[in-house]
A = this chain, B = another copy of it.
């Protein structure tokens, strides 16, 4: 029999005080679990994780190495809470599914609400999806397969089918009786959706209002008729916008004819807001998506595709420089200074495009204020262009003891920073207009422009005025 260290008692496993009442997962806990797993101390590992919130357990599973991850899930066995699954990153989930017996998985998925179950299978590759679907009961499978027919990232995939609807003729009392008798209600809900006989939503009653109202009052009298409904096909980014804009906690999803078919709740939307913000951040950073949990090969491939584009644009900039090889040979100071012009332009352009990309994503920049935005950015670019022209010009003059070099770099700086301001606004707005995501492509276009213009203006002016 396995020996426990003498100071510990099997029934009361040691729990470091620091883990209590903390929010989220501490690195210490991850270390402690890793140590326990690697020492083969299943009792300790079990004790450390069993009281964790499912979201924290998901984070823990993600933080562990591959082997420890499998060990932990096997160790937990029937104690492994299926609610953990929707919180897992899809790369980790696919890994894990290979270790869980199909029957266990089917049982786990059947326990989840329809939107959570769908969350689990949505991100899997097709083979893994098929394997999971095949292990479900026909009725569960049907629901999930229907969800899969909705377009990716649409409201249909986000919604939950369990929804509380009440006829408009009811009173508060009738509603309360219905809820008290109710079966097949969702775990949590925040609004009562009032429907007409065709099952079209006509208004909603926030739960807090229903609870404050006396039984005989008809719902019609307290319901809010000014309601935002979400079409099945609406993109999740738009869904997030509607929730944020109107401060919603839940909203009914309607199919084409207007029938209510589901509900989206704010907890799902919080994740979408996070995802969308993360997507923009990653795209601007030249990463297709967060690849923290992807394996080396996937990460390398996705990063390389972006670097190939960058290699192309760098070569274009080099071609510009090569037009002035003779000039550089005569005045090597130009080679020393030219990266400054390109780099300042690139940074100024990135500042502008970051503001533009975010404003477009948040619907704060549209045709209506485009002219004002471009005008302002142009003015900012002119002022900063002049400021940094003087600064850089002075540095170059002092460094090479040549006022003419200072004048040339100053002129090139103004030109490049104005172009940076213009391209930092016009390129994202133009991409958005032709339907290309400005977060993906703006950065590469803008820095190409500022590199090319920077090198060309500086070396060109030098060739004309210095030689």
Which of A37-45, A104-112, A208-216 touches B?
A: A208-216
Q: Which of B296, B342, B384 touches A339 (beta carbons < 8 Å)?
A: B342
Q: Does A169 contact B (CB under 8 A)?
A: no
**What's the nearest-Cβ distance from chain B to residue A61, in Å?**
12
- Assembly CA distance A206 to B359 (angstroms): 36
A248-280 Cβ-contact flags toward B at 8 Å (1 or 0): 010000000000000000110111011001101
Q: Which of B296, B313, B348 touches A303 (beta carbons < 8 Å)?
A: B348
Is B180 touching A208 in the complex (CB atoms < 8 A)?
Answer: no
Contacts of A23 in B (CB 8 A): 228, 238, 241-242, 245
Is A384 touching B303 in the complex (CB atoms < 8 A)?
Answer: yes
A298-319 Cβ-contact flags toward B at 8 Å (1 or 0): 0110011011101101110110
Given the known interface contacts A53-B246, A384-B300, the answer about A369 and B30 at a Cβ–Cβ threshold of 8 Å is: yes
Is B249 touching A266 in the complex (CB atoms < 8 A)?
Answer: yes
A167-180 Cβ-contact flags toward B at 8 Å (1 or 0): 00000000010011
Q: Does A347 contact B (CB under 8 A)?
A: yes
Is A286 touching B350 in the complex (CB atoms < 8 A)?
Answer: yes
Q: Which of B296, B359, B369 touches A380 (beta carbons < 8 Å)?
A: B296
Is A211 touching B249 in the complex (CB atoms < 8 A)?
Answer: no
A157-188 Cβ-contact flags toward B at 8 Å (1 or 0): 00000000000000000001001101001111
Q: How many copies does the complex hold?
A: 2
Contacts of A270 in B (CB 8 A): 243-244, 247, 266, 269-270, 273
Contacts of A200 in B (CB 8 A): none
Q: Which of B267, B311, B337 touches A392 (beta carbons < 8 Å)?
A: B311
Q: Which of B176, B247, B318, B325 touches A267 (beta carbons < 8 Å)?
A: B247
We find that the number of chain A residues with CB closer than 8 angstroms to chain B is: 123
A62-80 Cβ-contact flags toward B at 8 Å (1 or 0): 1101000000000000000
A364-396 Cβ-contact flags toward B at 8 Å (1 or 0): 111111001100100110011001100110010
Given the known interface contacts A244-B274, A344-B307, the answer about A368 and B208 at a Cβ–Cβ threshold of 8 Å is: no
Minimum CB distance partner of A51 in chain B: B226
Given the known interface contacts A59-B364, A355-B291, the answer about A303 and B335 at a Cβ–Cβ threshold of 8 Å is: no
From 313 to 364 in chain A, residues with beta carbon under 8 angstroms from any chain B beta carbon are 313-315, 317-318, 321-322, 325, 328-329, 332-333, 335-340, 342-344, 347-348, 350-351, 353-355, 358-359, 363-364
Q: Does A124 contact B (CB under 8 A)?
A: no
Given the known interface contacts A328-B335, A353-B285, the answer about A208 and B189 at a Cβ–Cβ threshold of 8 Å is: yes
A208-231 Cβ-contact flags toward B at 8 Å (1 or 0): 101111100000000000101000
Contacts of A182 in B (CB 8 A): 212
- Assembly CA distance A247 to B267 (angstroms): 6
Is A179 touching B246 in the complex (CB atoms < 8 A)?
Answer: no
Is B351 touching A303 in the complex (CB atoms < 8 A)?
Answer: yes
Q: Does A27 contact B (CB under 8 A)?
A: yes
Minimum CB distance partner of A347 in chain B: B310
Q: Does A292 contact B (CB under 8 A)?
A: yes
**What's the nearest-Cβ distance from chain B to residue A296, in Å?**
5
Known contacts A53-B226, A59-B364, A314-B344, then 6 further A-B pairs from the complex at CB < 8 Å, ordered by chain A residue = A34-B368, A207-B211, A287-B354, A307-B351, A310-B344, A335-B335
| Cross-chain pairs A/B with CB under 8 angstroms, 9 sampled | A23-B242, A24-B241, A25-B363, A56-B245, A244-B271, A285-B355, A290-B355, A292-B373, A311-B392
